[in-house]
Amino acid sequence: MVNDQKHIDEYFETEEEIEGEGKTPPFQTPKGVHDILPHDHEFHTYIKKIVRHRSRQAGFKRISTPIFEFTEVFKRTIGEATDIVSKEMYTFEDKKGRSLTLKPEGTASICRAYIQHNMKDLPQPVELFYYEPHFRYDRPQAGRYRQFWQYGFEVIGESDPALDVQSILLAYKIFEDLGIAHTLKLQINNIGDLNSRKVYVEALRDYYFGKERYLSEEDKIRLQKNPLRVLDSKYEDTIILNQSAPKFKDFISPESQAFHEEVLEYLTDLGIEYTENNSLVRGLDYYNQTVYEFWDEKKGAQNSVGGGGRYDGLIEMLGGQPTPAIGFAMGIERVIAQMKRHKVRVPSKDDLHVFVAQLGREAKKICIPLINQLRDRGVRSMGALGKGAIKNQLKIADKFKAPYCILIGLTEVRDQTAIIRNMIKGSQRTVKMSEVVDEIIKSVGKENLDFYNPQDPIDL
Ligand code: AMP
């Protein structure tokens, strides 16, 4: 084995490593976006399998919406005064001057699709899940990207505290399967129904009336468009002013309070620990009642791994009939970072079983169909079919960490044989060419063969 060679997977592991070589390539990804290299794809594949399994078990079906929508879809729902709409959208005009936006999140598009495809005529609730890229012109930093992946789900058409809890439970189960549930804590709040929010908004307007001079220009605009967003302000003077502002909890109607208490009771029964967090409002306007996030409490709100909430008014905002709904979304990059931080290992299906090395044109003629046959029988195989000494080909086999190597040189061509080399032990034996595939399968183990069954309902 050539142990001093850097393994190919490690080479692919991080972008820094390539940058660390000292040469800056002429082209790099734009700020805030990143390539998903093979090592991280192993995480994505693993996460996809888990979310698909858990979603299906709970009756969800997959949906994909376009990468861009009419800008209005997001403006109307997420809210013009939110950071997402006011600062973070990738908005552009098409050739006919229509305003389009790369989707910054999934829920608004799914509700647009719910209305467009008359999903109200389906049995309710309609349960949908997605695994999609989203785009926000966010300030790039650890865990904050301009293109990021989200898995999420929506339950549309019914309202009951039990549905809120079932959503939280599904998210929790996924985190459990991913091996990170114990590192996260559920933060939960109830931000009231639409009516109590209206009353609260008026109380906020009254409170800020006459105090505008203490607000930043941005907060003044927020105050006009949606006073709730002033509470999210990051300006020091506004933060001080906010400390004495009326509190949400004093405006929540008895119905919302009862709804919230029921949610908390179910959570306790299920043994899901939570922190009641009165300042959790989430940065999108369409939420009402239950809102929740999963945080690594050591890292706080900036690193929410996932979150969701009820949005009973959203479908109406888009022109549909009043339809209650609740959803959840988690950031895949943050999930992967959390898994890596806690040393969760994911299985790799990329490892080669066998590497085929050859010498001479006649040997190559044998190798091409041999590799084809090996692959057809489920053996992950690769060959160095270019020119090069067998010794060098073996070095390559070693870099790819192939446990077995088949060697075919001039003697083997003449004798109709092949050499099977065990790359771990360094031993080798000669077998008849007609038996080499069966011999390799025996060594690899039938249970490890890589077969694809087109009947498997794989759609991710
Ligand atoms: P949101 O759509 O804002 O409720 O976000 C849901 C989840 O998506 C968050 O909890 C994060 O895990 C993830 N997320 C949101 N914004 C970003 C971003 N800019 N980069 C990476 N992940 C993000």
Which tens digits make up the pLDDT trace of 15-41? 444 444 557 889 999 999 999 999 899
DSSP tag of 48: H
Task: Please tell me the distance from the alpha carbon of residue 135 to that of residue 103, in angstroms, as a whole number.
Answer: 6
DSSP string covering 212-238: GGGS-HHHHHHHHH-GGGGGG---HHH
Residue 148 Cβ < 6 Å to ligand 1? yes
- pLDDT bin (cut points 50, 70, 90) of residue 280 is confident
Q: How far is the CA of 311 from the centre of ligand 1 (A)?
A: 17
Backbone angles phi, psi at 130, to 5 degrees: -145, 160
Number of Cβ within a 10 Å radius of residue 12: 17
Residue 105 Cβ < 6 Å to ligand 1? yes
Instruction: Pick the atom of ligand 1 nearest to 306's CA.
Output: 10
DSSP tag of 446: G
pLDDT of residue 20: 46
Residue 260 Cβ < 6 Å to ligand 1? no
Task: Please tell me the distance from the alpha carbon of residue 325 to that of residue 323, in angstroms, as a whole number.
Answer: 7
Length of the chain: 460
pLDDT of residue 407: 94
Per the CB < 8 A criterion, the answer to whether 54 and 177 are in contact is: yes
In what side-by-side order are the strands of the sheet with 381-384?
381-384, 354-358, 404-408, 417-422, 427-432
Of the candidates 6, 4, 29, 8, which has an alpha carbon nearest to the alpha carbon of residue 19? 29
Residue of the nearest CA to atom 14 in ligand 1?
331
pLDDT of residue 300: 63
Three-class SS state of 128: strand
Residue 122 scores a pLDDT above 70: yes
Please report how many Cα atoms fall inside a 13 Å half-sphere around the Cα of residue 84, on the Cβ side. Answer: 23
Average pLDDT over residues 69-80: 95
pLDDT of residue 302: 67
Structural domains in the chain, CATH included, are: 32-193+252-341 (3.30.930.10), 354-448 (3.40.50.800)
Average model confidence (pLDDT) across the chain: 90
pLDDT of residue 70: 98
Lowest mean pLDDT among 329-333, 401-405, 412-416, 450-454: 450-454
Buried b (16+ CB within 10 A) or exposed e, 334-346: bbbbbbeeeebeb
In the chain, pLDDT over 90 holds for what percent of residues?
A: 70
Residue 286 scores a pLDDT above 60: yes
In what side-by-side order are the strands of the sheet with 91-93?
68-70, 99-102, 91-93
Please report how many Cα atoms fall inside a 13 Å half-sphere around the Cα of residue 117, on the Cβ side. Answer: 11
pLDDT of residue 328: 98
Lowest mean pLDDT among 133-142, 245-254, 276-285, 407-416: 276-285
Residue 14 scores a pLDDT above 70: no
Residue 335's identity, in one-letter code, is V
Q: Which of 83, 107, 110, 144 to mutate to test the pocket of ligand 1 (most atoms within 8 A of CB)?
A: 144
Start-to-end Cα distance in the chain:
37
Q: What angle do CA 260, 262, 263 make, to 5 degrees?
A: 65
Average pLDDT over residues 208-236: 88
Q: How far is the CA of 146 from the centre of ligand 1 (A)?
A: 10
Please report how many Cα atoms fall inside a 13 Å half-sphere around the Cα of residue 354, on the Cβ side. Answer: 33
Residue of the nearest CA to atom 13 in ligand 1?
331
Which tens digits make up the pLDDT trace of 86-110? 899 999 999 999 999 999 999 999 9
